[in-house]
Amino acid sequence: MRNKRSFSIELKPNRLESLSDGVLAIAMTLLVIELSVPVLIKSSAEEGLKIKLFEMWPKFAAYALSFLILGIFWFFHHFLFHYIKRSDGRFVWLNILFLLFVALVPFSTALIGEYSVYARTAVIFYGANGFIIMVMLNLMWWYATKNRRLVDKDIRESDVKNVQIRFLLSAILALLAMGLSFINPYFGIAIYIIIVVWAIIEILATIPYYRKTIETD
């Protein structure tokens, strides 16, 4: 009888987290590429440059908004991996799908920076990008905590529910922004800004608790 050989590869969460950090860092860096320097005749650059820079305000606003949003995604992802103790193939692919849409953010940012004033489709596309990213974070957290598959068995149920609610609420707000964009693109943009402000406040409120859990681990 032929002996069956089998081997297993231990999928370490820190490798997955390092990959995610790299993709998020690259996506944040690529945002600035859309901010190209205006081409002007140097002899009349003084007045012309002021006008051109003012005309670029939607691109600057989109850059700032997306940079903050990617920073928020990074914190959420890092916060999630604070609880992740092991990994498996399904979780790896959920994380890769998360990164697939993170890498799309520079494109959706360029789209909203160029056409947000003129086309609601750009605002909806931007919202859909963020919505799918939050859905992927929700799926990753659900998969990891289901039957304590990838987290410690003694993790508190309140912590599991708390993270679920935060991720789910962010996804719902992104969905609301997409819906309001059908009425008026500026409504959608306003919701995106509200999401960023709310998330930053949440993060600042979470950091003391996060530090406490690290110290007790």
Lowest mean per-residue pLDDT among 40-54, 85-99, 141-155: 40-54
Mean pLDDT to the nearest integer, 53-69:
90
Helix (H), strand (E) at residue 76? helix 57-83
The conformation of residue 149, written as its DSSP 8-state character, comes to S
Residue 1 has pLDDT above 50, yes or no: no
DSSP-assigned beta bridge partners for residue 151: 84
- What gap in Å lies between CA 158 and CA 155, rounded to an integer? 9
- Polymer length of the chain: 217
In the predicted structure, residue 25 carries a pLDDT above the cut 90:
yes
Q: Taking all residues of the chain, what is their mean pLDDT, rounded to a whole number?
A: 85
Q: How far apart are CA 213 and CA 217, in angstroms?
A: 6
Q: Tell me the pLDDT tens digit for each residue of 89-105.
A: 899 999 999 999 999 99
Q: What is the DSSP string of 84-136?
A: B----HHHHHHHHHHHHHHTTHHHHHHHHHHHTTT-HHHHHHHHHHHHHHHHH
Nearest to 132 by CA among 107, 112, 106, 102: 102
Q: CB of 31 within 8 A of CB of 66?
A: yes
- Which of 8-17, 134-143, 198-207 is predicted least confidently? 8-17
| Model pTM score | 0.85
Mean pLDDT of 105-130: 88
Q: Where are the domains of the chain?
A: 13-216
Residue type, 6: S
